[in-house]
Amino acid sequence: MLSRGPHRRLPGRLLTAASLLLLVAGGVLIARGVLNGGTPGAAPPVHVANVGAPAAAPSASAPAALPASRPVRVRIPAAGVDTGPVLGLGLAADGTVQVPSVAQADRIGWYDQGVTPGETGPAVLIGHYDTVDGPAVLRNVGRIGPGDKIYVDRADGRTAVFAVRALQQVDKKAFPTQQVYGDTDRPELRLVTCGGGLVDGHRPDNVVVYADLVAD
């Protein structure tokens, strides 16, 4: 059952996308969407211009919130993304947020302990930037800018349309958990992936895209 509003389950630790080490096929993979060093054809490091905290959502009236309906497809024209079905991601046993597997690197996941896209609150989507197999679904996240649209098709046949407000690149050790997962009074979207150049076989940063509902 989906929880709502202040009753949502936030991740129990500051470890979110791109922060937990796992052993995969005898090698070390940073399971939150990072490349295990030097794979041919890997995506270049991503850096975004806005590295500070994003501005608050505009005070102008937003479209009415939509009822609950799980996301089924995500389209981000600026980044060349058109992918589905959307994966449901919960919490792992250690309290961290699950992420798509390496085999699902071309898919985006939705944190299903939170609201669905278009409901009041921050719906959170997570995708790989790259993996041991090379570039992944969010390899072009650096092409996204303020004003760009993110389209989330829902199971009820409606499409929630979000306009990007800001991008934030932040060290994983300082991941803004409350800012990403905390309650909001309007429908918003977060898109989380990895960023930064490889350091000791992994990417040290997260990139968070903040967007607001503008149409449905």
Half-sphere exposure of 110 (CA within 13 A, CB side): 25
Residue 35 pLDDT > 60, yes or no?
no
Taking the C-alpha atoms of residue 3 and residue 17, their distance in angstroms, rounded to an integer, is 21
Taking the C-alpha atoms of residue 181 and residue 203, their distance in angstroms, rounded to an integer, is 22
Q: Give bridge partners of residue 123 from the DSSP assignment.
A: 189
The dotted CATH code for 5-215 is: 2.40.260.10
Q: Which has the higher per-residue pLDDT, 105 or 54?
A: 105
Backbone angles phi, psi at 119, to 5 degrees: -75, 165
Residue 4 pLDDT > 80, yes or no?
no
Residue 55 pLDDT > 80, yes or no?
no
Q: Which has the higher per-residue pLDDT, 77 or 173?
A: 77
pLDDT for position 32: 31
Domain borders along the chain are 5-215
Average predicted confidence (pLDDT) for the chain: 80
pLDDT grade for 196, boundaries at 50, 70 and 90: confident
Beta strand 134-135 with 130-131: parallel, antiparallel or unpaired? antiparallel
Half-sphere exposure of 166 (CA within 13 A, CB side): 14
Would you say the C-alpha torsion 202, 123, 71, 150 has a positive or negative sign?
negative
Taking the C-alpha atoms of residue 64 and residue 97, their distance in angstroms, rounded to an integer, is 29
5 CB neighbour count, 10 Å cutoff: 13
Nearest Cα to Cα of residue 66 among 115, 99, 100: 115
Residue 17 pLDDT > 50, yes or no?
no
pLDDT for position 24: 22
Residue 15 pLDDT > 50, yes or no?
no
Percentage of the residues of the chain whose pLDDT score is greater than 90: 60
